[in-house]
Amino acid sequence: MIYAHLLDRPMIIVRGISGCSTYGEVVIMKNNQLPRLTIVVPCYNEEPVLPNSAPILQTLLQHLIDNQQITTDSKLLFVDDGSQDQTWALITQLHHQDPLFTGLQFSRNYGQEAALMAGMQVANQYSDLIITIDADLQDDPTIIPAMIAQAQDGYDIVYGVRNDRSTDTWFKRTTAQSFYWLMGKLGVNLIPNHSDFRLLTHRVVTELMRCQESRPFIRGLIPQLGFPATKLFYKRQPRQAGVSKYPLRKMLRFALDGILSFSIAPIRAVLYVGLTICGGSLFVLLWILISHLYGTVVTGWSSIMASLWLLGGFQLVAISMIGEYIGRTFTEVKHRPRFIIQTDTYSPAFTSSHSDKISPSEDHHIY
């Protein structure tokens, strides 16, 4: 049995986040009702992966239903982010084979963050709990029952966190550590070694949907919401099929999104560097003036050219950085849709029972 095989993976460690010692009764468990769960899985060119991961998630979800940990109408929601292969055809085939499988299909590729936001937005209309996980299942799905148990204990956010980065290359480990260090210095609260494997309650997703960024940095947004949170540690598994969808170019763009979305510190750093260079230039000018007064010949053509190149390069970097902020502001004020859903096989599963639909709060924006 697939699920029994997965249970051979290492045990998890539960650790609460400081400042969250006591909690009230979780909203979703009122009246002792079982929570309705939706597992959101973003997909982009996952044709080699889905035949392996879909049965594992199916068995896991059915196990939770059979053990009466979640409702019988809980779902798996695959979000096809404009794949160029047969990903959507596989999702459609799975949906026809078992109603546990549902899907959203984008009109084109919008990116993983958009796929996550779309899946959570649609699922939140009908779900008490939402779990997001990558399609390759390198994040250990066997901790999902423990995530649900933590939600029942009163946590609104349960982060899945890697206990080490042994499966990564030296370059990826080093750049990841540098990124977390830099974000910490910029005052951004991130969960180290946490990707997009997490559980969120309905009210957390409701508040998350109020964030209107056209390019949201979800890993930074969720900790800012301030709801009770905890961590579950697991061992990340090697990739079994397919290839990584995050080459160096996308990793750099992702890091830049995180830095520029949450801090103006880079602009301030440019200001401080500029002031330092100006101050140094004044001392150089004073030295040149004194040299002329004493008749000393200043032959520093090389030093002048080096200084010009240094200042020119710094100015280009500074202008480019300011341009990034201006470009992002320009993108935001246009208010274009972050994604367009072409096909939805998830919502129709609930349209026959409108009474089960969870009413969003009055200030919840569906967009």
The Cα 276–Cα 86 span in angstroms is 56
Mean pLDDT computed over every residue of the chain: 78
The Cα 85–Cα 350 span in angstroms is 29
pLDDT of residue 363: 36
pLDDT of residue 314: 74
Burial class (CB in 10 A: 0-12, 13-18, 19+), 20: middle
Residue 187 confidence (pLDDT) above 80: no
| Segment 188-238, tens digit of pLDDT | 778 888 888 999 999 999 999 998 887 888 888 899 898 999 999 998 887
Query: How far is the first Cα of the chain from the last one, in angstroms, to the nearest whole number?
Result: 41
Residue 299 confidence (pLDDT) above 80: no
> Contact 363/203 with Cβ under 8 angstroms?
no
- Residues with Cβ < 8 Å from 262, sequence gap 6 or more? 183, 186, 187, 188, 217, 220
Joined together, the tokens standing for residue 283 give 């001392």
Q: Mean per-residue pLDDT for 29-53?
A: 86
Backbone angles phi, psi at 246, to 5 degrees: -125, 80
Backbone angles phi, psi at 164, to 5 degrees: -165, 170
pLDDT of residue 149: 94
According to DSSP, the residues that pair with 232 across neighbouring strands are 14, 160
| Segment 90-122, tens digit of pLDDT | 999 999 999 999 999 999 999 888 999 999 999
The Cα 313–Cα 187 span in angstroms is 28
Residue 142 DSSP class: G
| Segment 152-171, tens digit of pLDDT | 999 999 999 988 776 667 77
> Contact 257/217 with Cβ under 8 angstroms?
yes
pLDDT of residue 253: 73
Q: Mean per-residue pLDDT for 346-351?
A: 79
| Segment 45-68, tens digit of pLDDT | 999 999 999 999 999 999 999 999
Q: Mean per-residue pLDDT for 271-285?
A: 71
The Cα 359–Cα 210 span in angstroms is 15
> Contact 43/36 with Cβ under 8 angstroms?
no
Residue with the larger pLDDT of the pair 6 and 353: 353
| Segment 303-340, tens digit of pLDDT | 676 677 677 777 777 787 777 777 777 776 767 788 89
Beta strands in the chain (DSSP E): 13-16, 37-43, 75-80, 101-106, 129-132, 157-162, 194-201, 229-234, 341-344
Do strands 157-162 and 229-234 pair parallel, antiparallel, or not at all (unpaired)? parallel
CA-nearest of 93, 54, 134, 92 to 345 is: 92
pLDDT bracket for residue 20 (50, 70, 90) = very low
Beta strands in 220-279 (DSSP E): 229-234
Percentage of residues in the chain having pLDDT higher than 70: 71
Percentage of residues in the chain having pLDDT higher than 90: 40
pTM: 0.73
pLDDT of residue 322: 79
How far from 42 is each of 83, 179, 196, 260, 302, CA to CA, in Å?
11, 23, 10, 24, 55
How far from 166 is each of 176, 242, 246, CA to CA, in Å?
13, 20, 18
pLDDT of residue 15: 42
> Cα–Cα–Cα angle for 271, 277, 278, nearest 5°?
90
CA-nearest of 105, 149, 103 to 129 is: 149
The Cα 88–Cα 228 span in angstroms is 36
Residue 4 confidence (pLDDT) above 80: no
CA-nearest of 319, 228, 216 to 266 is: 319
pLDDT of residue 12: 40
